[in-house]
Amino acid sequence: MKSIKRHALRVAAAAVASGVLATGAVALAGSASASTLNAHATGGYSFQTLNNADDVTFNQLLGINDFGVIAGYFGSGAQGHPNKGYQLEPNHIRYLNENFPGSVQTQVTGLNNTGVTVGFWSSMNNANMVNDNHGFVDVGGRFRTADFPTGSPAAPPVDQLLGVNDSDVAVGFYTDANGNNHGYEYNVRSGRFSTVTYQDASLTAAAINDRGDVAGFYAVGGTTDAFIKFGNRTFISLAVPGASSTMALGVNNSDEVVGTYTVGSGSSAVMHGFTWTPQHGFSTVDDPHGLGTTTINGVNDFGQLVGFYVDANGNTDGFLATPQR
């Protein structure tokens, strides 16, 4: 999962997590239809609530490409309610089931413009929601596990791929035996891994654009801040003023970074979505039906945003926000 708060498999510090495909191909969910609810406009965006009819109580939208295809999943991850991955084509209002073959749970977390998707899967659906996580890549219906080759994994292992660019370079993280996260890049074509680090921080690489700029978040001394790393050069920390934590979860080719920040702590904590650009800095973007509970998880090159919020009934709803231009 992209280890933020996805209430699913076992998320360590990024946001995110299934089903079975007999042939490994993406299958159409015949009984599923998009629920486009609460269409509304605010803050320069037009919002749509989009929930898979197979479970309208829990949906998270995690990535969007330039064709408007959205990656996500339904199911809270509680025992008996496993995560089930999908792709959504909003223009045609149809959901395509996408689950790692033989898995119990799957989250589809990212996709590019050439049809490559990434995410993670689990063989477990335990009552305590502590499950194994394994990163995966799906290229044209061919799935493969892609776990960082570490000698000191967590038990059970936690490895998640969270984003992929058009050069087929994916990013994600794994958790070590001490509970620290380690960001990495994975070249889908060559199968090679490389690390994404910042000093000795526990770091999650959550998104990558076509220039190789990586966004994510890291923790040092109990403080969690977002970052963007421009190729192998400049590392910039991003922290919303007054926030107790800031997490970057998506980035596009204009280096527009999106994510979530938290104000307060404990039962009084509230979460807001944000966008950040090098030119204009931070802007808060909340779904009007999810003020204080909004997470923005993905952004495409047209500035469309996807994410999720918690509604008045306690359901987690996916949303699409389109700039009004």
Query: CATH second-level architecture of 27-203+286-323?
Result: 6 Propeller (2.120)
Supply the pLDDT for residue 33: 37
Region of 106 please: left (phi>0), alpha (psi -120 to 50) or beta: beta
| CA-CA-CA-CA dihedral for 91, 97, 98, 99, to nearest 10 | 160
Give the whole-angstrom CA distance, residue 158 versus residue 187.
19
Give the span between the Cα atoms of 157 and 259, in whole angstroms: 25
The residue ranges of every structural domain in the chain are 27-203+286-323
Say whether pLDDT at 311 is over 70. Answer: yes
> Residue 234: in which H helix or E strand, if any?
none
Span 180-202, pLDDT tens digits: 999 999 999 999 999 999 999 99
Write down the pLDDT at residue 123: 98
| Coil, strand or helix at 266 | helix
Q: What angle do CA 76, 79, 80 make, to 5 degrees?
A: 85
What is the rounded distance in angstroms from the CA atom of residue 317 to the CA atom of residue 294? Answer: 10
pTM of the model: 0.89
User: Percent of the chain scored above 90 by pLDDT?
Assistant: 83
For the stretch 77-111, pLDDT in tens is 999 999 999 999 977 679 999 999 999 999 999 99
Q: What is the pLDDT of residue 28?
A: 33
| % pLDDT > 70, the chain | 86
Is the pLDDT confidence value at 8 over 50? no
SS3 state at 114: coil
